Amino acid sequence: MTDYAKAREIAEQAREREWTRPSFGKQLFLGDLRLDLVHPMPRPDAEQNARGDEFLHKLRRFLEDKVDPAAIEREAVVPQDVITGLADLGAFGMKIEPEYGGLGLNHLYYTRALALVGSYSPAIATLLSAHQSIGVPQPLRLFGTEAQKRTFLPRCARGEISAFLLTEPDVGSDPARLSTTATFVDDPDGGHYVIDGTKLWTTNGTIADLLVVMARTGSRISAFVVEANSPGITVERRNAFMGLRGIENGLTRFEGVRVPAANLIGKEGQGLKIALTTLNTGRISVPAVCAGIAKWATKIAREWGDARVQWGRRIGEHEAVGGKIAFIACTAYALEALVDLCSRLADDERNDIRIEAALAKLWASEMAWRVADELVQIRGGRGFETADSLAARGERGVPAEQMLRDLRINRIFEGSTEIMHLLIAREAVDAHLSVAGDLVDPKADMRAKAAAARRAGGFYARWLPTLVAGPGNRPGSYADFGPLAHELRYVERACRKLARSTFYGMSRWQGRLEHRQRFLGRIVDIGAELFAMTAVCLRAREDAARLGRGPQELAEGFCRQARQRVEALFHDLWHNTDDTDTRIARRVMAGRYTFLEEGVLDPSIDGPWVAVPRARVAAKS
């Protein structure tokens, strides 16, 4: 089997196949806008709201009084008294149930808290979310035994910090290459595992008390809770990055680390499934931080756009700058709407939100990056200057360049944009693969192909006619959304067009479709924009009673901007440079154009591209 086939098989094994609950996202990609699944939006109960608001109030006061975000950036460390203060507030156990010592907040308030913290200090937000969204609490809440919950959750809630360790020097997007091993050893106490390997980029890893470690048990991957002070664990170094200077991110080595069998999470071989299921809702934390930063960017864009005068006008009045301010404000509103909707759906538990959370992660990380980039541009030279330097000159120390740097990683970790495209595209074409998969599978025999042809004939005969017309073609549809009904009608029409386009892509490329990554990426990006438009319309409708016309104006503005992006993506599905680009990329890698590299110097420090862990080098020699 090729490495590609192995990676694909592992991803397929880890995928959740069952759909026991309805999914707005799944239906969207099938051309069926199931507004009834998200409208009216689930409402959190009053008691939850009261507890959440009280916590947010305390958290805000603590941040204002006790946390100096500029010092965290300058000194590249979150001080211990800040960590202790957050622990005293219960911030390390926001989502942990009260019976295990946590605050028992719902997703809605968890994401609001992350947005608040993220707007002030993205490094602290990363500390909290790595601990709670992917660290020990979340997988244990979902898959832990009662004994594991009782042992570990109260410790996590009290402020013992946890980390999630999947990545290795040779394993990023491809867990099939995972080389850390966990070997079972029988003993009178029920047995234990011995873990060996090296884990890279472990957020919180240098200060963690508890670790979730992914390791190979035989041919499959399993997940363990490991005490960070176990003999045999060495944190070899603290890594430094382009942004998030305050995070405690390590390179952690395991040599003969003994872990009780009771610390296995779920069953042997379930590790990747546990990681992916954890991320189903865990993924909303990235968009939450993105929304917080985009809301902050709106404040700065407003104040600066109004205060700075050039060429006789406030810069916000120059059309070129005004366009950026409008983009920042509308996108911030959409980001918040998207995060709120996903959080409420997660709390409500009636829908399966794995596609929605993935779309939110993908879309939010890309859009927030653009928002921060436009903010830097609007700030001109001051956008490029650090907050400390601005303040030292006696000006307001706005950390625009820091936010841009801090946001960049969101497009890479917890599933890079390219991998999110693949994961979501896999779900988007799932219905087609389940009826017609054998038709395009070169390994399927003639009988399987014939059965698939019959199944596909029946499915497509029923499905394709549903894509011709729908509520989006009827002028009075979605009337309860007032002026935004028009936008929802567009979403409905576009989602049918999206499904037709996916079908054309399937028919044209068949089994090769999975390699048309840019086509699939555009399909997914259109789905994400349509989901964001839906969230914005729902949110503006709800906000109107409290806030008047403002939300609707932002929603209309956002929908117009999103439509332009959607139309461009539809166009690019069939008119693009994908084939020439693929050829050129191959030739670049083959060295055909190295003449282009003449006349420059490479400032990189010498070394291998990927450092093989020392333990393995020693074992080989």
Ligand X SMILES: Cc1cc2nc3c(=O)[nH]c(=O)nc-3n(C[C@H](O)[C@H](O)[C@H](O)COP(=O)(O)OP(=O)(O)OC[C@H]3O[C@@H](n4cnc5c(N)ncnc54)[C@H](O)[C@@H]3O)c2cc1C
Site residues (vs ligand X, CB under 6 A):
130, 163-167, 172-173, 201-203, 241, 244, 249, 409, 412-413, 416, 418-419, 422, 517
Distance of CA 160 to the CA centre of its chain: 25
> What are the tokens at 146?
């009662």
Query: Angle, to 10 degrees, between the axis of helix 354-378 and the axis of helix 400-408?
Result: 150
Position 440: which residue type?
A: V
Nearer to ligand X, 173 or 510 (CB): 173
Nearer to ligand X, 24 or 164 (CB): 164
HEC string of 525-551 equals HHHHHHHHHHHHHHHHHHHHHHHCCHH
Query: Of 336, 356, 385, 414, which one is the catalytic site residue?
Result: 414
Nearer to ligand X, 421 or 541 (CB): 421
d(CA 297, CA 300): 5
d(CA 289, CA 403): 11
Nearer to ligand X, 39 or 522 (CB): 522
Q: How far is the CB of 116 from ligand X (least distance, A)?
A: 21
Nearer to ligand X, 203 or 343 (CB): 203
Q: How far is the CB of 257 from ligand X (least distance, A)?
A: 17
DSSP track, 448-491: HHHHHHHHHHHHHHHHGGGGT--GGGSTTTTGGGGGGHHHHHHH
Nearer to ligand X, 450 or 588 (CB): 588
Which residue minimizes CB distance to ligand X? 172
d(CA 251, CA 492): 48
d(CA 510, CA 523): 16
Q: How far is the CB of 344 from ligand X (least distance, A)?
A: 27
Cβ neighbours for 238, distance < 8 A, ≥ 6 positions apart: 206, 248, 249, 250
Q: How far is the CB of 610 from ligand X (least distance, A)?
A: 9
Nearer to ligand X, 266 or 271 (CB): 271
Cα–Cα separations (whole angstroms), residue 352 to 27, 285, 462, 496: 11, 17, 25, 21
Cβ neighbours for 458, distance < 8 A, ≥ 6 positions apart: none
Is residue 473 within 8 Å of residue 453, measured between CB atoms?
A: no
Is residue 334 within 8 Å of residue 540, measured between CB atoms?
A: no
Q: How far is the CB of 409 from ligand X (least distance, A)?
A: 5
Q: How far is the CB of 315 from ligand X (least distance, A)?
A: 34
**Which helix H or strand E contains 211, and what residues bound it?**
strand 210-217
Q: How far is the CB of 20 from ligand X (least distance, A)?
A: 28
> What are the tokens at 606?
């010498």
Active site residue 9: no
Task: List active site positions.
Answer: 414
